[in-house]
Amino acid sequence: MSEDGANGDDETAAEEEHEEPSVDLEATENRLEAFESDLETLETDLEAAETEDDLDVVEADLESFRTDLEAVEIPDPPETDDEDEDDEDDEPAVEEQLQDRHDEIEGDLSDLEDDLEDQRGPYAEDVVGEIDGVGSTITGTRWTVEGDEELIDAVDAFLADANDLLGSDVSTAGDLEPASGAELGEKGDEEGNVPERLSETLEEVTAAVEAADLDPDDDAETIAALLEATDDFESAVDDATEWTDLEVREQLRREGFYDVLDHVKDFPPEWHALKVHEKRGNVDQILLAYESLDSDFMEEHCLEALERMGPEEAIDPMLQQANRRNQDAMCILGKIGVADDDVVDTLLDYVDSNPDLQKPAFRALGEIGTEEAVQPIANQLAEDNPDVRSWAARALGLIGDTRAIDPLADVLEDDEEDRVRASAAWALNRIGTEAALEVVAEYADDRAYLVQAEAERANLEPAA
């Protein structure tokens, strides 16, 4: 045998030695079917789990399931010629279909793992952590004398709830009073330091929680009630008057913000005044509070009031916030519903953005009803994310432009996600012309119930 021939045989042998073993695709498909069935069983087990021990069992099963799933090997699809790749009518290779099923199973598994974590607890240590966090806020902030008074009231209210739930008798010191000094906000000696002494009281509460040895199963209601009380306590502390708040409150007083109240000692007075101003339609006062108060709690309630009212006076400040990617401001602009050029342009900037910004932008543009948004939003019907396609379809329905009928009809016919198709059917019904209703009416026997329901509506509604 020639040297070349020997080398050739050696190379062939080496290639065969390193060649990946063939994978039985039919066996792989059967394994994936078994995984899908097992996943349904795990979902049922999770729904039936009532105790932490039950959840531990499900968690172990999920971990074992993931290990087995990750061990499944799916080969790459065979290489194809460029001409074959251009043929859109060709079905995906078997390997690609199996990989898609594998990915879908893995995604469902991740959802179950998240659901399991959500189903756990709550735990006593969660309560302790929340109380410690509020205590750190109290000691780490400089308060006014008024703020000290509000902190004492807030702690007393929290202690009433905690003692009732724990059967404890923790209380604040009887001689606890806001410190006074030559300068407002100056603290006295250690004995008169309200935040430090309140923090010591809260340490007694955490000790009582730990001593109660609360079980996450047997005492779940007690733990949940303690967390709710702690949330209320945290909100009260957040709204107590800090040293830096003093100037703001004086400004609000000068602007007449508190004039709607008989007195300003209701807790917290800003929230009470805000509700009165909303009832009276005093948009300027709500905007003043929103711009002046450095409080997440008050900002949230100001925005909620503006969204309920939808006043045109709020366009400029909400437009400024929308330009800073504020989703609440986008929603308010939609509720206002004025097709101002600057508003529309700002919202259109988010149409091809990330989903967190697309959702409020789509909705706002739909509520405004601007025809300028039809084509940019219609382009999003081809996005990979089904949520984006669904939001886009509904926004087109809100706008009501007949140019959206054909692309919505295509979604209804071709989209793989039934919830997206249902959104398209809803949008066509919302457009309501004879042509739009005729498209939806053809799906009375559709595989998806929500689409069937929209088809029934289409057959009942008169054309616009």
- DSSP-assigned letters across all residues of 382-447: G-S-HHHHHHHHHHHHHH--GGGHHHHHHHHHH-S-HHHHHHHHHHHHHH--HHHHHHHHTTTT-S
C-alpha to C-alpha distance for 74 and 95, rounded to whole angstroms: 7
Mean pLDDT of all residues belonging to the chain: 86
199-208, 275-284, 288-297, 334-343: range with lowest mean pLDDT: 288-297
Contact 405, 436 (CB under 8 A): yes
Q: What is the DSSP string of 38-55?
A: HHHHHHHHHHH--SHHHH
pLDDT top residue among 26 and 182: 26
pLDDT digits over 338-373, tens only? Answer: 999 999 999 999 999 999 999 999 999 999 999 999
Q: With bands split at pLDDT 50, 70 and 90, how would you rate the model's confidence at 95?
A: confident
78-87, 198-207, 307-316, 407-416: range with lowest mean pLDDT: 78-87
Token output for 128: 């302790």
Q: With bands split at pLDDT 50, 70 and 90, how would you rate the model's confidence at 267?
A: low
C-alpha to C-alpha distance for 155 and 172, rounded to whole angstroms: 8
Looking at domain 369-464, its CATH architecture is Alpha Horseshoe (1.25)
Question: Which pLDDT score is estimated for 464?
Answer: 66
Over range 145-155, report the average pLDDT.
91
Q: What is the DSSP string of 283-300?
A: HHHHHHHHHH---HHHHH
Q: Is pLDDT at 186 greater than 60 in this prediction? A: no
C-alpha to C-alpha distance for 461 and 464, rounded to whole angstroms: 9
Q: What is the DSSP string of 53-99?
A: HHHHHHHHHHHHHHHHHHT---PPPPP--HHHHT-TTSPPPHHHHHH
Supply the DSSP symbol for 219.
T
Domain coordinates in residue numbering, the chain: 25-78+91-119, 124-178+186-240, 369-464
Q: Is pLDDT at 7 greater than 80 in this prediction? A: no
Q: Is pLDDT at 15 greater than 80 in this prediction? A: no
Question: Which pLDDT score is estimated for 405?
Answer: 96
How far CA 389 is from CA of 194, 317, 396, 411, in Å, comes to: 55, 30, 11, 9
Question: Which pLDDT score is estimated for 295?
Answer: 85
Residues of the chain with pLDDT > 70, as a percent, come to: 88
83-87, 89-93, 353-357: range with lowest mean pLDDT: 83-87
Q: With bands split at pLDDT 50, 70 and 90, how would you rate the model's confidence at 183?
A: very low
List, in sequence order, every residue forming a beta bridge with 143; answer none if it has no partner: 242
Question: Which pLDDT score is estimated for 58?
Answer: 85
- Of the spans 171-175, 252-256, 415-419, which averages the highest pLDDT? 415-419
Residue 92, exposed/middle/buried by CB under 10 A (0-12, 13-18, 19+)?
Answer: exposed
Residues 6+ apart with CB under 8 A from 147: 240, 241, 242, 243, 245
Over range 105-132, report the average pLDDT.
87
- For 158, what's the count of Cα atoms within 13 Å in the CB-facing half-sphere? 31
Whether pTM > 0.75 for this model: the answer is no
Q: Is pLDDT at 68 greater than 60 in this prediction? A: yes
Length of the chain equals 464
How many other CB atoms sit within 10 Å of the CB of residue 344?
Answer: 19
Question: Which pLDDT score is estimated for 459?
Answer: 86
Question: Which pLDDT score is estimated for 81?
Answer: 61
Supply the DSSP symbol for 184.
T
